[in-house]
Amino acid sequence: MAKLVLPAGLLVLLLLGGPMLLMLRYSFNVFDPLFLMKQAFTFENYARAVADPYYQKILTTTILVALACTALTTLLAYGPAYWLARMESRWKSKLTILTMFPLLVGGVVRSAGYLALLSTDGLVNAALRGAGIIAEPLQLLYTPGAVIFATVGIVLPYMILTLASVIESIPRQVEEAAANLGARPGRSFFRVLMPLSLPGVLAGATLVFILCMNAYATPLLLGGPQFQMMAPAVYEQFARASNWPFGAALAFLLLIVTVILTSLGSSVIARRYRAG
């Protein structure tokens, strides 16, 4: 067995860790207009990424958008997840698969779908004008709202499925016991269901937050030229500026911030609920 596991393990390690290590190494190199990259060991790229107001603003936008999307997604997903988890009919498995369905289509395609939905001659504007609610088309596209709206739509299935599986593991009798002891639905939710589903909320929120921090196609297609987020900025360094060391440093900055925020968030929320 060990003979088989070892080569496979090494391959996995190489696949997972190889590119990361290479990028980490690159992030300490220096950019050279002529040779593109020179071997070095400097923190210059990181210093620039942190100090440059331009990138500070992009990072701030990214964090705010990711936080907003995570909060919205959690709020929106809880109801459907609960409904799905507690469903008894034969539709349950079909609906679960249906929830997974959007994941079969890549984020780029779905972002394009939101583009068609929100543009000035898109579906939403057409419907509003048809109903006589507005005279002139609304500028929905190329706003932070459009990016948040579309990102939430794209990550929603992950949240619903994660939450549903955790809620399913909470015995229904526990909720019935709360009702039997006099808890109205609201009290029952905050005192019983919410604390017991917290692991699911944390897992889902962490997953969604990471996805949002790294969102690429949605901000690019729906945010417009003025709206910048980190993943497109990283891509630009690699593809347009050909500045690999700086691009790698930006990518690692994004990674570090994501790790810090997710672990901070989970520990704060977990502590808060354990105390209550």
Footprint of other proteins (CB under 8 A) = 171, 173-174, 176-184, 187-188, 191-192, 195-196
Q: Shortest gap between Cβ of 202 and other proteins (angstroms)?
A: 14
Sign, Cα dihedral of 89, 91, 94, 98: negative
Residue 192 or 231 with smaller CB distance to other proteins: 192
Name which of 105 and 174 has its Cβ closer to other proteins. 174
Cβ nearer to other proteins, comparing 9 with 185: 185
d(CA 57, CA 31): 23
Q: Of the two residues 18 and 171, which places its CB atom closer to other proteins in the complex?
A: 171
What residues have CB less than 8 Å from 262, skipping those under 6 apart? Answer: 206, 209, 210
Q: How far apart are CA 34 and CA 248, in angstroms?
A: 19
Q: Quick one: residue 215, left, alpha or beta (phi over 0 = left, psi -120 to 50 = alpha)?
A: beta
* Least distance CB 163 / other proteins (angstroms): 17
Cα(83)–Cα(78) distance, integer angstroms: 9
CB of 128 to other proteins, least distance (A): 40
CB of 189 to other proteins, least distance (A): 12
230 φ/ψ angles, rounded to the nearest 5 degrees: -65, -50
In the bound state with other proteins, the residue whose beta carbon lies nearer, of 137 and 199, is 199
Q: Which residues contact 242 (CB under 8 A, 6 or more apart)?
A: 36
Phi then psi dihedrals of residue 32, to 5 deg: -130, 125
In the complex, minimum distance from the CB of residue 89 to other proteins, in angstroms, rounded to a whole number? 12
Q: How far is the CB of 161 from other proteins (least distance, A)?
A: 23
> Which tokens sit at 70?
């995570």
Least Å distance between CB 169 and other proteins?
Answer: 11
Cα distances from 83 to residues 95, 96, 186, 188, 252, in angstroms, run: 11, 11, 16, 16, 39
Q: Which one, 33 or 182, has the nearer CB to other proteins?
A: 182
Query: Which positions ≥6 away from 124 have C-beta within 8 Å?
Result: 117, 118, 138, 140
Between 39 and 180, CB nearer to other proteins: 180
